[in-house]
Amino acid sequence: MYEELKRQVLSSGYLQVDESPIKVLDSDKPGSTHQGYQWVYHSPERRLVLFDYRKGRGMHGPKEVLENYNGWLQCDGYGVYDKIATLEGIQIAGCLAHARRYYHERH
């Protein structure tokens, strides 16, 4: 089911993506946690959301998920997205909420 959901989300010509830190129970150390990241890919066109857990916040996860994606990717200014923008077929659109916030803070 995950692969089918991923296929449907990535078939959209417009995605929104963001990563969020999440505390994850550590099976090697009962009672302790480590910080992981939930990468969220949202297709407004299809009203679908794909959650992709990764241990890190680096480029490996989104590069793997988006390697065959073609379309617009709306994201914030996190540096990993600049690297993702170099992948063939991906056009980056900035996050309007961040743009508005920066504008509002200056005026």
Instruction: Report all structural domains of the chain as residue ranges with CATH numbers, in order of start.
Output: 2-106 (3.30.420.10)
Q: pLDDT tens digits, residue range 44-61?
A: 999 999 999 999 999 999
**Per-residue confidence at 28, pLDDT binned at 50, 70, 90?**
confident
- In this prediction, residue 102 carries a pLDDT of 64
Name the residue among 58, 54, 15 with its Cα closest to residue 35: 54
The residues with which 94 forms a beta bridge, in sequence order, are: 75
